[in-house]
Amino acid sequence: MTKVRFAPSPTGMLHVGNLRTALVNYLYARANGGQFMLRIDDTDTERSTKAYEDGIRADLQWMGMDWDCEDRQSDRISRYDDALQHLIDTGRAYPCYETAEELTLKRKAQLNAGRPPVYDRAALKLTDEQKQAYEAQGRKPHYRFRLADEEVTWTDLVRGDVAYHMSSLSDPVIIREDGRYIYTLASVVDDIDHEITTILRGEDHVTNSAAQIQLFEALGAKPPQMGHLALLAGADGEGLSKRLGSLSISELRENGMQAVAIASLLSRIGTSQPVTAFATMADVISGFDIANYGRATAKFDPAELQMINAKIIQSLSFSDVADQLAQDGITDEAFWLAVRGNLDVVSNAKIWWAVCHDDIDTIIEDKALCEAALTHLPEGDITPDMWKPWTKAISEATGAKGRGLFMPLRLALTGRDAGPEVAGLLPFIGRERIIARLSGDSA
């Protein structure tokens, strides 16, 4: 069975970049009848917090991306200990005693000499006596994974055939001197134990994947399929920083973006398919194919998200938004149907509710036309159907047509020069306010 995982570190809010990674994994699992796993990568104990973890869970649930199983790295330290010992016993992991400052000096010297800053494996030459001397000084070792001097190849689900020669990479650190395991090893052990079949992540992990493929093999496991997605950029092509709070999922939600609008956009940018405003997550899943993703930079444009959001809002039924509208005291389905066509977020319905029911500053652009409107205001119930015969009578009485007829009426009745059809708003404004507003009173 296909099994993928989303493995966030609870060190910050979920943003569009890592949500896209989560979404692609989720869609891949659902499209292939597989499982979607949530794994909390919380080995960074200094920066990981429960609040961030709770936020990640809340964002995924709001998006409709339920997971089938879960685990967390902080509960699996003993498994990493076992894996590290296996690598030590087989000669694939070794202790190093250089400080961060010493390693920085080494890299600078290599660069100044025109050589690539690849770790020189000096620690492999240390004698037992030298190691004991370092530890007597209070130094604690970090451990590196010894890469085999060979080419690593795989067929990437996005990038096609990929090849990296390990001589161009430093032996990766797999455990810090303070005993904290690095993602490189912990993630591989987790993927083995959780039987992950496919790893989908950003292209910034390509070189990391090359090293991890050797780690899988060193631990006696077959590497999963790999797929590396082009990273997101802004509409201008510049890199999209995950630190931009305006692009956090929680803030997008607070700003009225619909979950399915976010999913619609993130599932299609970076693909050969046109962006579509899907109605449901099921529609997003049915339109997903990992083969459509390419290597071109995927551009995220907040303005495009707003347009998609507006399209979705304008097709929502009253039952879809009833709970949200009720928070603003709106319980009338007819009102929703009258205003939804001009909304880009649901919460803006309350603006038009206030226009209809509260006092407004009237704008009398054409006093004679407004007086004619009062004269010809139909008797009986105020309904949308009265708008056409009413405006016809006003036109015949004044000679006004087109914009010269409709704009003065809109300004007087709503105080605004654009918005929903005035006909649909009339029943909610009511006869008393219609008369007051056409008379130039604030009502």
d(CA 84, CA 175): 9
pLDDT at 246 over 80: no
Q: In this prediction, what percent of the chain has a pLDDT beyond 70?
A: 97
What does the pLDDT read at residue 10? 94
pLDDT tier for residue 258 given thresholds of 50, 70 and 90? very high
pLDDT tens for residues 142-171?
Answer: 999 999 999 999 999 999 999 999 999 999
What does the pLDDT read at residue 233? 84
pLDDT tens for residues 175-191?
Answer: 999 999 999 999 999 99
DSSP label of 397: H
Q: What is the mean pLDDT of the chain?
A: 94
In this prediction, residues 88-107 reach a mean pLDDT of 96
CATH number (2.40.110.10, 3.90.800.10, 3.40.50.12280, 3.40.50.150) of 78-175 reads 3.90.800.10
What are the tokens at 32?
A: 């292939």
**Which numeric CATH code is attached to 3-67+187-231?**
3.40.50.620
Return the half-sphere exposure (C-beta side, CA atoms, 13 A cut-off) of residue 221: 19
**Which numeric CATH code is attached to 234-313?**
1.10.1160.10
pLDDT tier for residue 247 given thresholds of 50, 70 and 90? confident
What does the pLDDT read at residue 139? 94
What does the pLDDT read at residue 235? 73
CB 118 within 8 A of CB 172: no
Instruction: Report the topology of domain 359-438.
Output: Arc Repressor Mutant, subunit A (1.10.10)
Residue that has been written with the tokens 């929903």 in this structure: 420
pLDDT at 242 over 50: no
Q: What is the pTM of this model?
A: 0.90
CATH 3.40.50.620 region(s) of the chain? Answer: 3-67+187-231
pLDDT tens for residues 191-237?
Answer: 999 999 999 999 999 999 999 999 999 999 999 999 999 998 887 66
pLDDT tens for residues 45-75?
Answer: 888 899 999 999 999 999 999 999 999 999 9
HEC states along 39-93?
A: EECCCCCCCCCHHHHHHHHHHHHHHCCCCCEEEEHHHCHHHHHHHHHHHHHCCCE
d(CA 45, CA 256): 34
Q: Which residues contact 420 (CB under 8 A, 6 or more apart)?
A: 338, 339, 341, 342, 352
pLDDT at 43 over 90: no
What does the pLDDT read at residue 244? 43
What does the pLDDT read at residue 443? 61
In this prediction, residues 359-363 reach a mean pLDDT of 90
d(CA 410, CA 425): 10
CATH 1.10.1160.10 region(s) of the chain? Answer: 234-313
Which residue did the predictor score with more confidence, 391 or 46?
391
pLDDT tier for residue 366 given thresholds of 50, 70 and 90? very high
